[in-house]
Chains A and B, each alone.
Chain A
Amino acid sequence: MQAAISVIIGQVRLIWPRMLLWGLAFAILSQAVMLLALIARFGALPNYVTFYHWIGNVAWIITSTPSWSDIPPIIADEWLIEIGRMNYDYGTGISEWSLNVMPSRLMLLFGLGALIGLSADLVRRESCSIPARRGATLATGAAAMLVAMTNATMSWVVCCATPTWVVGLSMMGLGVSTSLALERLGPVFSYLGFALLIATILGLAHRKSARQSPYKETTHA
């Protein structure tokens, strides 16, 4: 394990700018994909966008929330941008659907993207069997899917609903009861995704360290 972690640290030092790019690209692309999914699903372009004073709001939450433990989950729900479609057929308008860009989720997706970049790099350098490489790629993809899916911030405005990851599943036609049952499992799926990704990275690093050991011994001999 120690050797694997050393390999990971070495790899991070080597490719950190690429990892940053992966993170940035993943965070931005995930927002774009969600927006495109909403447009495709509802067959309409967004007709409103609202920008929120995120920094000011966060500062206000910190100063006005007595308990430190209450602050992170409240900040996590703060929006930066809301882009969606307003229906003006009824009353003064109702937002039918929207994408909510939330910095907390952006940061999480950024982290996910960076880890995917690291995993992809380790896979690329993996000189072992093709099945092992395919397995690692598959595990990375599945992990990315789990985390990205459970951190979707699309809102399909139903009464009393807030942006939740199962909106994506509902949009794809998943039943209400199943969606509600799955909603509670969101954090579990997210942790599972990260665990799978980290395990994959550790596995790849371990293989790499195992291959490096005999080579090092020979050089020292």
Chain B
Amino acid sequence: MTFPILRASLISAAIATLASTVSAETISIAIGHQSMCTDTYTAGIVVKELGLLEKNLPHDGKYADADYEVSWADYSSGGPITNQMMANKLNFGVMGDYPLIVNGAKFQETDSLRTLYVAGTGYNVKGSGNSIVVPVDSDIYSIEQLAGKEVSTPVGSAAWGMLLKAMQDNNIPTADYVLKNQSPAVGAANIAAGKIDAHSDFCPWSEIMEFRGTGRKIYDGSETGVPYLHGVVVRQDFAEEYPEVVEAFIKAVYQAGEWIRADPMKAVSEMEGWTGVEKEVLYLYFSKGGHLTLDPTIKPAWVDALKFDHEVLVKEKAIPPLDFNAWITEDYVKAAYADLGVDYEAEKAVTVDPKENNAGLPMEIWHARDGISSYPDMAAFLTALAEMTSTGAKLNASYVYDSETGLKLFGKTAFWVKAGDTYATYLRKGEAESYATANGGALITFEDAIADFTIEG
């Protein structure tokens, strides 16, 4: 073997070795999500269970021979996700607005590590999702009545931020009520046992309490007018090394939303199995007219809302500063939309307001055997309910809309007003009473409303 041949052989061997190393690369993708936080599902449990990320991962170009190792870790809050991301045990994190801000700020506090806010998962433009609940038998019906009472909340959460703002908006200084720090599960248990006057929590805890008949909502986050949103953060080093993987993740988020929109009843039934959260509660979020608008786009209003939330956190928890321009990027979500052939700017420009969007939507009944049926007006809805209950049919839930805000409500937890032959439903008692007074009507129970349409014999 001559020297040039030897050299050529060595170079070839080296190239071959290098090539095999690249082709054998295993890309680990670790995602932290929250199966007890509904607004994260389209970037969490749905993507995981349907294998949507795997379906979108690139297998061409530099990824031609790459192997992927996708792992999911479930957390009950966003804080630990941030810690795990800092330790580089998670690449992606899915969380609500307040934890997202803490995530960005904590990373920017370091010398060498950063995260990027790359996509949303869903939102409620007015802030629904967070709410204040009282024990179902409580004589408290409005936030004003919380002066001098004990109120608990998971401190540091979006629900905590909402509570602070709600109290300020209603001129209730912090000295006038006792704020307690309680986890969602503890707060819900205390509401059920009547051990706390009120509990402020995030989705879907308030609705779980309502559905289980232990709690009653007296204040909805939409009254603060601050959007409530969730999103996806990714470690910047990972995003820069594997931008196509980040795009694949965002495509999966979009497709998860499409999957839910295609058949909400089927979707929530599946999600109940994955998360343990009752499907009837999930339907309140994910159905047409539900609390949650699934949308990965990053709107200017969201950036403003996040800035507002950051100010609250700086004031209350002394969190580090956050450079929003460096943290938020639309590059990946735009690229993902382009790949999917969806008009990003058009979707970004659309904001769903429940009051406008839900006007005229039909009421719904979820029959345990027959599924969900829709009714265009109250008479048809109550007639159907009367017929079903008279036959002893098992009903999972019924859904109406708050006449004031357009929010979707359980029929059984709404305040009902009968004025002449018309019926109206409200989230809050005060507004129901005002409507009744103005229209010569009276507050009635849900059962009374159904009884009006029950045919004897």
Residues of A within 8 A of B (CB): 57, 60-61, 64-67, 69-70, 74, 77-78, 87, 89-96, 156-162, 170, 175-177, 179-180, 183-184
Contacts and interface: CB of A to CB of B under 8 A. Distances in A.
Interface residues of B, number: 49
A153 B102 CA distance: 20
A96 B185 contact: yes
B87 interface: yes
Given A60-B89, A159-B77, A160-B157, 17 more contacts: A57-B87, A65-B112, A67-B112, A87-B185, A90-B36, A90-B205, A93-B276, A94-B183, A156-B183, A159-B76, A159-B157, A159-B202, A160-B78, A161-B155, A162-B79, A176-B180, A177-B179
Given A61-B88, A77-B83, A170 B181 contact: yes
B208 A90 contact: yes
Contacts of A159: 76-79, 99, 154, 156-157, 159-160, 183-184, 202
Nearest to A63: B88
Nearest to B174: A177
Contacts of B186: 96
B80 interface: yes
Contact of A158 (B174, B181, B275, B317): B181
A91 B202 CA distance: 14
B185 A94 contact: yes
Contacts of A183: 317
B15 interface: no
Contacts of A170: 181
Contacts of B113: 65-67, 70
Contact of A92 (B74, B111, B157, B188): B74
Interface in B29-59: 35-36
9 contacts: A61-B88, A67-B111, A67-B113, A90-B36, A96-B186, A157-B183, A159-B202, A160-B99, A180-B155
A96 B187 CA distance: 11
A175 B181 CA distance: 8
B178 interface: yes
Contacts of A65: 88, 112-113
